[in-house]
Chains A and B, each alone.
Chain A
Amino acid sequence: MSHDKPIDISRLAAGGPAVGGYHLRPEGFEPPVKVVTRDVNHLGESVYLFEIAKGLGLTMGHVLKNLFGGLVGFGAIRTIGYPEQKREIPEGWRGKHRLTTREDGSSKCVACMMCATACPAECIHIIPAESENPDIERYPDRFDIDLLECVFCGMCVEACPVDAIRMDSGVYSLTAFDRESFLVTKEELMQVKADPFVAGKTY
């Protein structure tokens, strides 16, 4: 079917015979449209009382359930008392970044700039330096992530060829009193620990 002419929507809905030379609907086709009329003069509703009683019954049901359920510890309330109780984060959840380390404690990062290139938010800032170890060649002199710009997409983790950056820390509450604190350095990123549950999957 060609769409070189704009289709008249109103005739389409009405199941008209031909639009732009084409039969969009077979003759006699009734479109599956349910027409709903508002019965505003329905007595039971216009008196309000019965509807109000129904509504009151509904809310009272919640109150009783939560009152007696809450007293003995079960009810419909699913609220989490946040600072003390924390939501269980799912496996593979992307939290604050961390830099993995070699056995000697240095960062695995070889400053290849893959993560910085992959980053859509351009929040990774790496200054590479030449390593004295001939097996490593490059290492990041500085590796800063601006967490305020980060969108937590995980592209850096995907891009890293040496598994140097991961987002399996499980840290989701990133709070500070000033902006500078969100600019985390290589040393800080190496301090971040992996969350054993989150680390169960790839990220």
Chain B
Amino acid sequence: MQHWLDPAIIIARNLLIIVVVLNIVPFLVWLERKGSAFIQDRPGPERAAVGPFRVLGLLHVLADAIKMMTKEDIIPSTVNRFYYLAAPVIVVAIAFTTVAVIPFWDTIDFPRNGEPGWPVIGGQLLNLDVGILWFFAIASLTVYGIIFAGWSSNNKFSLLGAMRASAAVLSYEIPLGLSVIGALMIYSTVSLPEIVRWQGVHTWGIFLQPLGALIFIVCAFAETNRVPFDLAESESELVAGYHTEYSAMKFGMFFLAEYGAMIVSSCLFVTLFLGGWQVPFLTTAELIAIAKPLVVYSLGAAFFVSLILAALLMVNFTANAGRWKDWRDLEPAIWAVVVIGGGITALAAMFFLLAIDPPNWFAPAFAGLAQFGMFLAKVLFLCWIFVWVRWTLPRFRYDQVMNLGWRSLLPLALVNILLTGLAITVLNI
């Protein structure tokens, strides 16, 4: 059904998804810093402040962004300018283009004037039937950006880093693609929204394809050039790998792309193996049906959680009293007040909701947002695994990476396909 407001709605939906996904990046940078600090028994970032507010070090990311934007941007005289300048653009563009096919929520429609179905808001930017194939096709283009960066920099470290990155990405692309095939055989579709719906009806992919999921996530680590496979920028050997010669925001774009690749890999893993936007035990219809009581209970629970959190913050306030000897000592107390305020607002919203009959758009909107939130929660959990693994494992040696990819993961992926095929044939699913 066409409506004159449809383009505006689509633009708003796309902006929402893009802005949210882009804003995961600074959050991940913070998660990386804070997570590594806690793993190593350090407090992590806690200095950058606006007034007394340090927000657990989140402001450091803001300071970093300002720094990246305003630093001197040096282009070495010996580089091949065209490819040198194109490389960061390619890397970032591709990292975030692949988000387009990820479904973030189930297609929701808002009943209006008793007439169902307007507006209908799909949960992804680009609803392609070949979703996952398109994803792999685009994602494997990243390696061009990396090779351009390394080759055009006219620097042996960059070149070595680029060579290693391309070798790793090409090698791991194969088991990555094969690991998915088992899952696709079970789902019998390559359309990502259909895959998620299938998992809602049956069960999550990870329970059916544990080996496939494992191979997928290992390959995702290699594809995103993360530890333990970060030999592309192994800073102890290659300075900074393929982006050695990049400074200021061009470096920042590689940085952005690394985290962007992490996010899209997590998104794809969640979509394929963790049920995508499926809220556990609740289908979309059920979510819409029980929207009001669910929101009421959640708001009530939020009130009690806020009380507990405020109490903890006050304990923190007393335990750290006099630590900084300035207004930063007050921060936990201020946050406690803010949290209590939020809790009381939630309580007020709960009573307000109990008193009124929510409008028609309330339940579908809630279902969409709940699924979006659930999807983001799963993605962030996956991203935390990326961070967690990075700060636990040492880097693999180059030959070990190749051995693992070609002699362990590739045969395992093939065995997985074989077993899945046998199971499907024998059990006649």
Task: Given A71-B312, A73-B316, check contact A59 B39 (CB 8 Å).
Answer: yes
Residue of A with least CB distance to B389: A56
Residue of A with least CB distance to B46: A81
Q: Does A3 contact B (CB under 8 A)?
A: no
Which one of B43, B214, B389, B392 lies within 8 Å of A79 (CB-CB)?
Answer: B43
Total interface residues in chain A, CB < 8 Å? 23
Interface of A is mostly: helix
From B77-85, B141-149, B199-207, B321-329, give the one contacting chain A.
B321-329
Task: Given A56-B392, A60-B388, A73-B319, check contact A84 B39 (CB 8 Å).
Answer: no
Q: Does B161 contact A (CB under 8 A)?
A: no
Complexed CA–CA distance, A58 and B324 (Å): 31
Q: How far is the CB of A72 from chain B (nearest CB, A)?
A: 4
Q: Does A63 contact B (CB under 8 A)?
A: yes
Complexed CA–CA distance, A138 and B278 (Å): 90
Chain A residues, CB < 8 A from B391: 59
Chain B 303-323 near chain A by CB (<8 Å), digits 1 or 0? 000000000110110111001
B319 A72 Cβ-Cβ under 8 A: yes
Query: Which B residues, 35 to 55, have Cβ-Cβ distances below 8 Å to chain A?
Result: 35, 37-43, 46
Chain A residues, CB < 8 A from B315: 72-73
B392 A59 Cβ-Cβ under 8 A: yes
Q: Does A62 contact B (CB under 8 A)?
A: yes
Chain B residues, CB < 8 A from A84: 323-326
Q: How far is the CB of B229 from chain A (nearest CB, A)?
A: 12
Q: Does A10 contact B (CB under 8 A)?
A: no
A72 B38 Cβ-Cβ under 8 A: no
Query: Which B residues, 240 to 280, have Cβ-Cβ distances below 8 Å to chain A?
Result: none
B319 A81 Cβ-Cβ under 8 A: no
Chain B residues, CB < 8 A from A60: 388
Task: Given A72-B319, A81-B323, A84-B325, check contact A62 B393 (CB 8 Å).
Answer: no
A59 B388 Cβ-Cβ under 8 A: yes
Complexed CA–CA distance, A50 and B99 (Å): 33
Complexed CA–CA distance, A78 and B40 (Å): 11
Q: Does A123 contact B (CB under 8 A)?
A: no
Query: Which B residues, 375 to 399, have Cβ-Cβ distances below 8 Å to chain A?
Result: 388-389, 391-393
Which one of A62, A66, A72, A76 lies within 8 Å of B312 (CB-CB)?
Answer: A72
Query: Which A residues, 39 to 76, have Cβ-Cβ distances below 8 Å to chain B?
Result: 49, 52, 55-56, 58-60, 62-63, 66-67, 70-74, 76
Which one of A52, A70, A71 lies within 8 Å of B393 (CB-CB)?
Answer: A52
Chain A residues, CB < 8 A from B43: 70, 77, 79, 81
Task: Given A52-B393, A56-B389, A72-B315, check contact A62 B320 (CB 8 Å).
Answer: no
Residue of B with least CB distance to A52: B393
Q: How far is the CB of B240 from chain A (nearest CB, A)?
A: 25
Q: Does A133 contact B (CB under 8 A)?
A: no
Complexed CA–CA distance, A67 and B389 (Å): 18
A77 B42 Cβ-Cβ under 8 A: yes
Q: How far is the CB of B31 from chain A (nearest CB, A)?
A: 11
Query: Which A residues, 1 to 53, have Cβ-Cβ distances below 8 Å to chain B?
Result: 49, 52
Q: How far is the CB of A41 from chain B (nearest CB, A)?
A: 14
Complexed CA–CA distance, A60 and B381 (Å): 13
B316 A62 Cβ-Cβ under 8 A: no
Which one of B37, B41, B318, B323 lies within 8 Å of A78 (CB-CB)?
Answer: B41
Complexed CA–CA distance, A70 and B34 (Å): 12
Which one of B41, B46, B320, B392 lies within 8 Å of A66 (CB-CB)?
Answer: B41
Query: Which B residues, 344 to 401, have Cβ-Cβ distances below 8 Å to chain A?
Result: 388-389, 391-393
Q: Does A85 contact B (CB under 8 A)?
A: yes
Chain A residues, CB < 8 A from B39: 59, 62-63
Chain A residues, CB < 8 A from B323: 81, 84-85
Complexed CA–CA distance, A12 and B324 (Å): 61
Q: How far is the CB of B122 from chain A (nearest CB, A)?
A: 37
Query: Which B residues, 202 to 253, have Cβ-Cβ distances below 8 Å to chain A?
Result: 214
Task: Given A55-B393, A63-B35, A72-B316, check contact A77 B41 (CB 8 Å).
Answer: yes
Residue of B with least CB distance to A85: B323
Chain B residues, CB < 8 A from A81: 43, 46, 323-324
Complexed CA–CA distance, A77 and B38 (Å): 8
Q: How far is the CB of B184 from chain A (nearest CB, A)?
A: 24
Chain B residues, CB < 8 A from A71: 312-313, 316
Chain A residues, CB < 8 A from B319: 72-74
* 8 A-B pairs closest in CB distance: A73-B319, A66-B38, A72-B315, A63-B38, A59-B39, A59-B392, A55-B392, A76-B41
Binding site for A on B (CB under 8 A): 35, 37-43, 46, 214, 312-313, 315-316, 318-320, 323-326, 388-389, 391-393
Selected A-B contacts with CB under 8 Å, 27 pairs: A52-B389, A55-B392, A56-B389, A58-B392, A59-B392, A62-B40, A63-B35, A63-B39, A66-B37, A67-B38, A70-B38, A70-B43, A71-B312, A71-B316, A72-B312, A72-B315, A72-B319, A73-B316, A73-B320, A74-B319, A77-B41, A77-B42, A81-B43, A81-B46, A81-B324, A84-B323, A84-B324
